Amino acid sequence: MLIDLPSDEAFMREALRQAQKAYEADEVPVGAVVVRAGKIIARACNQIELLKDATAHAEMLALTQAEAGVGDWRLTDCNLYVTKEPCAMCAGAIVHVRLRRLIFGCADPRAGAAGSVINLLQLPSLNHRCEITSGVLQNECAAILQDFFQKKRAAQADMQ
């Protein structure tokens, strides 16, 4: 899928703003926005530590908000912008809500489920396949994660 540069970058910048909120809250800095008909209908950042909930990934929270906003669990006419490639849990949710398109910033070579490790979003055996666009603002999306984990490692080293 080709990148729709102006709008894809604009929506990814909002996802990056959400990631920055997570960073400031000492959460892994991942942000997500759901877009329908060219408008943001949901936005979220990781809240795993805050909520003490392993499922409180930015993608899951944004999808839940979007479902509530449209009054349906099906999000067939929506796009999800997320700063990091979704994990298997989030990819499963993307398939279940029948999302039209996923746009992500940086790949996750350890746990990415949109092509890096496995591609759950386009398995022929599932009832839905989602279009995928990767690499939108890749450097910025990777940089916030790298900075976060460098600071975490430095803080751990100082404690030893």
Positions annotated as catalytic residues are: 59
Sheet holding 131-134, edge to edge: 39-45, 31-36, 78-84, 101-106, 131-134
Here the tokens at position 131 are 């279009």
Please, are residues 70 and 62 in contact by the beta-carbon 8 Å criterion?
no
H-only helix segments in 25-137: 48-51, 58-70, 88-96
Q: How many Cα atoms sit within 13 Å of 78 on the Cβ side?
A: 30
- d(C-alpha 61, C-alpha 7), whole Å: 22
- d(C-alpha 46, C-alpha 19), whole Å: 8
- d(C-alpha 13, C-alpha 92), whole Å: 25
